[in-house]
Every structure is written in C-alpha cells, then in structure tokens.
Amino acid sequence: MVDSKNKWKAWLYLSPALVLLGIFTVYPIFNTVQLAFLNGYNIWEAMDGKMFTIGIDNFVKVLNYPGFLTTLKTTILLCVLTVPVSTMLALLIAVALNSIKALNRLLQTIFFLPYVTNSIAIGMVFATMFNMIGLDPATGIPQTAGIINNFLSIFGVGPVNWINPGSTYEANMFVMCVYIVWNALPFKILVLLGGLQSVNKQYYDAAKVDGTSRARVFWRITVPLLSPMISYVLITGFIGGFKEYSSVVGVFGEGMGPTGDKELQTMVGLIYDSLGEVGTGEGFASAAAMILFVIILAVTILNLKVSNKKVHY
Amino acid sequence: MKVVLEHLTKIFPSRNKKSNEQVVAVNDFTFEIPDGKLIGLLGPSGCGKSTTLYMISGLQKPTGGKIFFGEDDVTELTPENRGVGLVFQNYALYPHMTVKQNILFPLQNLKGEDKLTKTVMLERAYEAARLVQIDDLMDRKPHELSGGQQQRVAIARALVKMPRVLLLDEPLSNLDARLRLQTREEIKRIQRETGITTVFVTHDQEEAMSISDMIVVMRLGVLQQIGAPQEVYDNPVNLFVAKFLGTPPINVFEGVVKGEKLYIGEQAVLDVKGAADQEVYVGIRPEGFITNPEGEFTTNLINVEVMGRDVSIVSKHPNAVSETIRSIVDADSAIDRDATTVSFSLKPHKVFLFSKETEQRIPFEVK
C-alpha cells in the first residue's frame, strides 16, 4: 500500500495514463450512450445550440435499416462458426506442438507468423489464393489464377467461384471463415501452449501407468487442466469475433462483398459506414454500437456462466 | 510377486551437445526383491534410486539389463501392461476430479475382457478407500484435503487396480514430521494387509530402516549393500554405508593398525585380531562408547547433553574426521562435566575398520 502522505505522488504518476484513458476511452463511451438516445441528432444543428429530445429513434432506425438483419446474420455467423473451430484446432495444434521435440521452435515460429502479419495483407493473399478470373469468352474454358482452384482442378473439382462477382454468399462466407480461423490460431495456440507447458508432467505419467488411452488423456486430463485457458480464448474469441471487420476488408476491399455491394457487411462495418455520414450518422452509429455491445455482453455473461460450471481452477 | 533386476543400467545422454559426458544414473544393478516384502531404496539424492523405481514402473526404459516380475520378463512392457501401482512424490492427483473419480480413474481405463461394471468399480474404489481410511472423503476435491489425506488417496488410486507391485516415490517427503511417523506405519500396515510387493524410495535412512523388510543402499548409481536394516547397520560393507545409516551418524577417525592393535593417535584403543598393518578409517557408532575413567580412548570433552533415557557426550579428538564426536551412553554413567577430558572403552562390535584406499570394510575378530 502507498502510505497516505505519498498518495498525491501515486496519482501524479498515474495521471498521464488516466488523462489519456479519460479522453479516448471513458468520454467516448459516455458520449456514445448519450448520442444513441438523442432523437434526430445532428452535429451541425447541435453546434447551433439546438436541443434534442431523448428517445429511441436511433435504435428504431437501426432495426428498420434494410441491411440490418443480413449484417447481424453475417456478424453472428462469422463469430459462431469460427471461434469453436479455431479453438479446437488451436488446442490440437498446441497439444501436438507440446509433444514433439524436433523442430519445435521452428514450428512454433511458423504457427505464430500470422499474428505478426498485417491482416489486410493476409486478406489480399487469401483473395489471390481463392481467385477465379472467369470463363474464357472465346472458348468457355474457365481460367483460374488462384492456387485453391488450381489445386481443386487436380481432383477434377471446380473451378469454384469463391469471391469473384457472381459468387454465392455461402462461398464468400466459407473463404471468410477459413481466413478468420487461420488468423485467430496463433494467439490461441500461444495461450494454450503456455498452459500446457505449465501442466505437471506427472499427471501424464500417472495416466500412463494406469493405461489411459490417448483420447481419454486428452478429454479427461488435458482439457480439464487447460480449461481456464480454453475459457479465456473462447471468451476473448467471441468478443473479437463479433467485431470482425478488417478481415472482410482484407479479402473483399471496402466494398465488403464480391461486387462491392456490402454483401458481407458486419456490425462494425455498419457502424463505420454510418460514421462516414459526418454530422448526421453519429446517432445511428452510436445506437448500432450499443446494440453490438449488448449482444457481446450477453454472450460473454453466458460464456462466464458456462465456464463457472465447467472450468477447474 | 518377486521382482528381479538383472544388470539393470540406465545411461542418460549428455544434455550439453558440446560435451559427450553421459550420466550413468544406474550402473549394473542386480538384485532380487522377495515376494510380499516392503523394500526401501535408500541413498542420497542423485544416487539413481528414483530412476530405478521408474524403470521398474516402465516409465523409463533401461539402457541395459532386464526386469522380471516373478518369471515374466517385463523389460519391454509398457507401464500399463506391467501391473504396477505408482505413487508419485507430489501424488499427482487429478485436481479437477473428486477423490472418488481419482480412485475410479484407473478402473475406467480397463478395456475388453477386463472391463468392469459400474457397481464393481465402485465396490473396488470403496474397498481401496477403506483400506487407506479415506472412505468418508470420497466427494472432496484434492485441494480440500491435507497432505496426508492426499497421500492416502494416491495410494488408494495405485492399489485399486490390484497391482502386482506397488511403487512409492519419496512417499513421506511432502509430509510434516508428525504425519511422517504416522504415515510410515500406515504404509507398513497397508503393505502387510495387502501383501503386495512394495518398493519405496527415500533419502531418509531412518524412514527406510524403520519400516523396510529390506533396504537397498545406493550411491552414484552403484549398489552398495542390500539386506535387512539391522544387518546392514551392524555390518556395513564400506565407509559410505556406515556413514549413511544411523542417527546420530557414526564417528569416523583416522587410525592405524599395527601388530593387531588399533591406534587412534597415540592411543591403542582396541585389539583387532586378524587385521593387517595399515592405515585405516575407524568408524565407531555413537552407542559403541562406554564411559570408563580407565578407558583406552580419551577425548577432549566439550559438552554433555542430557536426553533423559540416555546422555549424549560431545567431545573432540585431533584424529576425528568430523568436527565433533558424539557418543551416546547410559544416563546412569558417571560423567564429570567439569573435566576437560573424557575416557571411554569401546564395544568391539560397534567399531568398524575401513581401508583408507578403497574405503572397504576390513574384518577383524571380535572376542
């Protein structure tokens, strides 16, 4: 404890951080809540001194927005489809990495690379990999440039139109899910590997002496002992998953879809776009942000409730 | 089930790539553990006793040699196919499972013909729990138990699958002094009741001596002596074994045998018929001294500690290897506490001679 005489010193040292947090985190939160509940808010009118009534007009506008349900669906799907898959994959990879000795360092580095790579750059690489130029107008033979379609053609499959104009929502979502899962792996592997390395090896020796099968060791020992880390990556994964945006931009560009018509619009994309309407879009954006916040809050509470029952600390 | 080790050797490769120094943890062990006995593997840390235990369990593969359980060669068998129960030093209880789940765990692993019904599993779990007296703790988690209780759970978990051999790695080292006394008797009782051949590892000679039917003394991977505790104590084969067993430890002096007489310094302290003339180490057990004003061996008195039943005399001698000499004599002995010296006669069977070169025991005739 800081003794009371020196308390002002503690506050002094904390003040730069507190000031920055106040300006860039605390104030915007309050401001967002405030803007969300002001009917017909308009910056230019507000500067002229106009007062706005308090109400839920902004929320009504968001809910009635034509693209809202698709946006919500895309956001939830991107999250719900990818988080369990990436967590499970990360767990398997972490267990594998932990059990092999040869090339351990190299493999760890390889698996960690996506974490330090720019997500837009990765998105562009994915866009190239899944690319299909189209049918040759003269011959009708599909021309492909992407490695995925070239690979599939070995098996006589495709070419599939993954991301080019005319592609289906399902194909687009598949590419996005692959991208997001791959991009989410390194952080999760890192956390789970750290957890694995702190597990006492004697649990495994004890299991070995008792002739425990590998599957049982995994489910009855490894998973429960790692459960605090698993719950951590799941919760942070869901929170991050609902905020998916830059990944879609990475693959499809700012158009957020194969034709640039926002086919894969996400909640954060929606908020970002309406902020583009400077002066009049802030109320709508704030309301959408509040809705997203409530969804994330609800899912996180649910996650915590479940993990309280399943996690062994 | 008797356990036989034949030329058992374990060499760990060097950790440092630059040097090729290998560590010979266990060097050419050959001995037989009789059926249904409690055996203590005893030695200072790094002597290879745990490695030996882990090789018997199958968790570590020997570099050379063979292990037999009864007539079966188990050297190449995996741990689960050997039928061993192993209790780890820190128990390794699964922290997320209750006591009951922990004890049931090995049974639930059984497959095929050995598969048990739930009722039988529970019966066996409770049977094992009753044996170690934890049947009222079955729904607790390990962290809700004391160290001693955790240990019992670990033993129950090892016993529940009815192993052919029970192995305990430093079973008492994580317990406090009082619990240690209690638990070692408990281990002895459980071993006697089950009749399972039990091997335990310890660095505490008192622990090993007190409960083992047989002790195996090891040093730097080499077997030193094997036998009943009293036998090893009374007849150490070399200086190391003599020094390692006994509390307070044996007193060691530099001495000379000349004309079948043992000299420590200038004093001829004992007749040693049959011993050739040579320089020797003399080991005298603390209980090997008898206070006697006319005694042959005089030392400089430092302190007299009264312990009730007997008295501990702390003294010095220029030829002693250790700083002080500790002798334990009867409380009735007359000791002049203000004197500067104290004289003793020696009990010949408590005096051991060791070659100064090899540190091996030199026999002499005890009248």
The ipTM, to two decimals, is 0.79
Of A11 and B307, more confident = A11
User: Can you give the pLDDT at residue A133?
Assistant: 62
- Reported as type and span, the H/E element at residue B262 is strand B261-264
Q: In chain A, what is the straight-line distance between the N-terminal and C-terminal CA atoms, in Å?
A: 28
Report the candidate in A124, A111, A243 with the shortest Cα–Cα distance to residue A179.
A124
Alpha-helical segments (H) within chain A: 7-21, 27-36, 43-47, 57-64, 68-99, 104-116, 119-129, 147-154, 169-197, 201-209, 214-216, 223-242, 246-252, 267-276, 282-310
Instruction: Indicate the range of A155-159, A199-203, A274-278, B74-78 predicted with least confidence.
Output: A155-159
CA distance, residue B55 to nearest chain A CA (Å): 12
- Map tokens 């007193």 to a residue: B251
- A305 in reach of chain B (CB within 8 A): no
**pLDDT score for A158:** 67
Residue A16: what pLDDT?
Answer: 94
User: Predicted confidence band at A86 (pLDDT cuts at 50, 70, 90)?
Assistant: very high
Q: What is the mean pLDDT of residues B13-39?
A: 81
Confirm or reject contact between A5 and chain B (CB < 8 A). Answer: no
Answer yes or no: do B159 and B130 share one domain: yes
**Enclosing domain of residue B214:** 3-240
Question: What is the reported pLDDT for A298?
Answer: 93
Q: Are residues B294 and B343 in the same domain?
A: yes
Token pair, residue B366, equals 């005890």
Considering the domain boundaries, does residue B14 fall inside one? Answer: yes
Using the Cβ of A227 and the Cβ atoms of chain B, whether some distance falls under 8 Å is answered with yes
Residues of A in contact with B142 (CB under 8 A): none
Q: How far apart are CA A100 and CA A109, in angstroms?
A: 14
Band of pLDDT at residue B16, cut at 50, 70 and 90: low
Mean pLDDT of B267-292: 89
pLDDT given for residue A192 in this prediction = 92
Residues B213 and B275 in one domain: no
Question: For A238, what's the count of Cα atoms within 13 Å in the CB-facing half-sphere?
Answer: 19
Look up the CATH number of the domain holding residue B111.
3.40.50.300
The nearest alpha carbon in chain B to A215 belongs to B109
Q: How many domains does chain B have?
A: 2
Tell me the chain A residues in contact with residue B161 when contact means C-beta distances shorter than 8 Å: 210
CA nearest to B104 within chain A: A210
Residue B298 in domain? yes
- Domains of chain A: residue spans and CATH: 68-276 (1.10.3720.10)
As a whole number, mean pLDDT of residues B105-109 equals 89
Distances (CA, A) of A154 to A72, A131, A163: 37, 16, 20
Contacts of A210 in chain B (CB under 8 A): 80, 105-106, 109, 157, 161
* pLDDT classification of A54: cutoffs 50, 70, 90: confident
Q: Please report whether residue B367 resides in a domain.
A: no
The angle subtended at Cα B139 by Cα B133 and Cα B145, nearest 5°, is 65
Q: Is residue B302 one of the residues assigned to a domain? A: yes
- Closest alpha carbon within chain B to A211: B80
Contact A211 B90 (CB under 8 A): no
What mean pLDDT is reported for chain A? 85
pLDDT of residue B217: 92
Kindly state the average pLDDT of the residues A183-192. 90
Picking from B240, B274, B309, the residue at the C-terminal end of a domain is: B240
B172 and B24 in a common domain? yes
User: CA–CA separation, A27 vs B294, rounded Å?
Assistant: 97
Lowest mean pLDDT among A153-167, B102-116, B139-153: A153-167
pLDDT: which is higher, B334 or A231: A231
pLDDT at B14: 73
Calculate the CA dihedral of residues A269, A275, A277, A280 and round it to 10 degrees: 130
In terms of C-beta density within 10 A (0-12 exposed, 13-18 middle, 19 or more buried), how is residue B341 classed?
Answer: exposed
Q: How confident is the model at residue B352 (pLDDT cuts 50, 70, 90)?
A: very high
Domain-located, residue B179: yes
Which residue in B has a C-alpha nearest to residue A227's C-alpha?
B96
Domain boundary residue among B222, B240, B258?
A: B240
Please tell me the least confidently modeled range out of A144-148, B143-147, B157-161. A144-148
Look at residue B240 in the predicted model and tell me its pLDDT: 93
Residue A1 — very low, low, confident or very high, per pLDDT cuts 50/70/90?
low
Are residue B257 and residue B218 in the same domain, yes or no?
no
Residue of A nearest to B159 (CA): A210
- Is B263 found in the same domain as B157? no
Do B149 and B54 lie in one domain? The reply is: yes
Same-domain status, B167 and B186: yes
Instruction: Indicate whether A247 pLDDT > 80.
Output: yes
Instruction: Name the minimum distance, in Å, from the CA of B96 to any CA of chain A.
Output: 6
Q: Is the pLDDT of residue A90 over 80?
A: yes
In this structure, are B20 and B75 located in the same domain?
Answer: yes
- When CB atoms are compared, the residue of B79, B96, B157 closest to A208 is B79
A171 shares contact with chain B (CB less than 8 Å): no
B169/B236 same-domain check: yes
pLDDT, average across residues B204-216: 89
Question: How confident is the model at residue A89, as a pLDDT?
Answer: 93
- Residue B105 to residue A203, Cβ atoms within 8 A: no
Of B240, B260, B283, which residue sits at a domain end?
Answer: B240
Identify whether B245 is part of a domain: no
Q: Which of A77-81, A129-133, B92-96, B156-160 has the lowest mean pLDDT?
A: A129-133
Residues B230 and B282 in one domain: no
Judge: A208–B85 Cβ closer than 8 Å, yes or no. Answer: no
- Whether residues B86 and B181 share a domain: the answer is yes
